[in-house]
Amino acid sequence: MEGLSKGRSKVIYFYSKSPIGRIYIASTELGICRASLNPSREDFLQKIEEASGIKPVYEPEAFIPLAEKLESYFRGERVEFRVSFDFLWGTEFQKKVWTILSRIPYGSLTTYGQIASQVGRSKAFRAVGNAVGMNPVFLIIPCHRVIRSDRTLGEFSYGKDIKMKLLKLEGSLNLVRLDSLGYP
């Protein structure tokens, strides 16, 4: 099994209800490997098993501290998710982008171009956008904090409404130009 050869012997998961939907989160011994909003349980588990070679086990008690942080986050409290990650898939470029995303502070925004510069490929903002869209760890790696250089919202895998809700919750929606969406 590929997962075992990379230092993984177990994958655990849980889910948490939130104001925006159900969030499924999985982890190996090395760190969080996936977080998704409103997936089907079967699809979520299948993707992880295909990538790791290990069947995920439901262990909600292992996620109690993270579940408490999620609850605090959705109450509008400033939360920094300080966790390790275990990227089961992705190119080296994508993994670099995801690592940079994980460091965007609560209440802050960055642009695709700024991330491209940080990975040493200043003209690769489209490739950065693709990597951001492939982020395997929803919310905990805050890809919703990435906007276009003209300060417009940009895309989001879970839709612009969810992106706006998260930015509003964090107090940074006022930093985005919403006129492109028909807002005053």
Q: How far apart are CA 81 and CA 79, in angstroms?
A: 6
| Per annotation, catalytic residue among 143, 146, 166, 176 | 143
**Which one-letter DSSP state was computed for residue 39?**
-
Known catalytic membership, residue 33:
no
Name the CA dihedral angle for 107, 108, 109, 115, rounded to a multiple of 10 degrees.
-140
CB 144, CB 29: distance < 8 Å: no
Burial 63-92 (b: 16+ CB within 10 A, else e): beebbebbeebbeeeebebebebbbbebee
Residues forming the active site: 143
